[in-house]
Amino acid sequence: MTEIQLMVNGEARTIAAPATLENLLTGLRLDPRMVVVELNREIIRRPQLGSILLKSGDSIELVHFVGGG
């Protein structure tokens, strides 16, 4: 199995490859509807999450929305 090294919110992570942004969110148990994803300083739209393959060295920032009042 091949692995890739990523930075996710400033923390190093190793995940199995191939993997998409959608796979990453699923592995982190995050709902794609509740997260803004930035890949290498570019905001990624939700419909693209399943088609963008991650590669070693990618930097991902995730902002998770929390509801409530």
The tens digit of pLDDT for each residue in 26-61 reads 999 999 999 999 999 999 999 999 999 999 999 999
Write out the two tokens for 20: 């998409």
Cα–chain-centroid distance for residue 50? 10
Write out the two tokens for 3: 């692995």
69 located within any domain? no
Checking if the pLDDT of 69 tops 90, the result is: no
Handedness of CA 33, 44, 23, 9 (dihedral sign): negative
38: amino acid identity, one letter: E
The tens digit of pLDDT for each residue in 14-25 reads 999 999 999 999
State which residues form the domain around 40: 2-64
What CATH number has the domain bearing residue 58? 3.10.20.30
31 located within any domain? yes
Query: What is the count of structural domains for the chain?
Result: 1
Q: For residues 19 and 64, which has the higher predicted lDDT (pLDDT)?
A: 19
Q: Supply the pLDDT for residue 38.
A: 98
Checking if the pLDDT of 67 tops 80, the result is: no
